[in-house]
Amino acid sequence: MSYWKFLPSDLSLVREGIQSVGDKLESVLEVAEPYLEPVFEVEKKLPHVFEAPSKLLSSAFVKMPQQSEYVNLSDPLFSRAFIVIALCPLIWNLLGRLEYKTKIISKIFFGRYPGCYALATWIFCFSLFRDKTFLEVLRSPNQPECELLAKDEYLALAGVLFVLGLVLIVSAYIRLGVVGTYLGDYFGILFEEKLEGFPFSASPHPMYDGASMLFAARALVAQSMAGVLLACWVYIVYRIASVFEESFTDFIYSEKQTHDRKATKSSQSVTSSRVKTVQKTKSKGTTSSSSNNKRS
């Protein structure tokens, strides 16, 4: 039984909807480009930062057997996007752990919250730069369109992935907020307990899974096999990052629980010592009054 027959015969609205969102994203990138100029300037002044690894990776891809006619792995834009996608979670995890160990970002920006917002701004900007490299691959003349992805089934799949990805990202952001989304726990800004319920009941890492779905949806609409491969690479990179993040987050919250237990015991001991002091004072007062009565 084919479930695709329940889909509408004309799926052009799905394509137009996802493409319009993609166009809006590109317009956002154009607006944000002046603010991302330092990143682009670094890339221009230090071309070996991305160019040398991209060439090395491209040459490695060329030597791979069974090159597909639907994807050009030797495209430098593909190699650059491949590297930038891997750098995103790697850099922000390193910065987060550095902050947790040394509090250096909080010291530079005079507080935990300003430091967290500064790191959030950097993560957001670098993520936009990553999205720009991904879109460049989709538009690259060196990448052929994949006719296999022109089927309605893949377009419908793109629509499903797009909706699910948006739901996961938006709902997770509502639950977490800016601080919770952008490594606030590394700054010591913690929730009372780890969040549960939707979307965390549906996905342990809704932000990462939702972003991977959006990348895949955009690639399917563009009929780009290179984009599909990069979307899979996004998912793999996020999965690897989530393993380290989850273990470190568990460590942070276990430290918090240990600290809370010690604080509770300390407060209880202080309270009990105060009670004993009061009782001793009362007993002394009673003894002195009774001795005075005897003397009288």
The verdict on whether residue 227 carries a ligand-binding annotation is no
Asked if residue 165 belongs to a known ligand binding site, the reply is yes
End-to-end CA separation in angstroms for the chain: 106
Give the C-alpha separation, 198 to 166, whole Å.
14
Round to whole Å and give the CA distance between 135 and 224.
Answer: 11
Q: What is the DSSP-derived secondary structure letter of residue 8?
A: -
Residue 93 burial (CB < 10 Å; 0-12/13-18/19+)?
middle
Helices and strands counted in the chain (H then E): 9, 0
Q: Is 73 annotated as a binding residue?
A: no
Is 246 annotated in a binding site? The answer is yes
pTM of the model: 0.71
Q: Token pair of 136, please?
A: 């460049």
Is 184 marked as a binding-site residue? no
For the chain, the structural domain boundaries read: 12-264
Q: Is the omega angle on the peptide bond into residue 89 within 30 degrees of 0, that is, cis? A: no
Judge contact between 227 and 134, C-beta under 8 A: yes
Q: pLDDT tens per residue, the chain (296 residues)?
A: 444 444 444 555 555 666 566 565 556 556 555 555 555 555 555 445 555 555 555 554 544 444 567 788 888 888 889 989 999 899 999 999 899 889 999 999 999 999 999 999 999 888 888 998 999 999 888 888 888 888 888 888 888 899 999 999 999 999 888 888 898 888 888 877 777 778 888 888 899 999 999 999 999 988 889 999 999 999 999 999 888 887 777 777 777 667 666 656 655 554 555 545 555 555 555 555 555 554 44
Q: How many C-beta atoms lie closer than 10 Å to residue 39's C-beta? A: 16
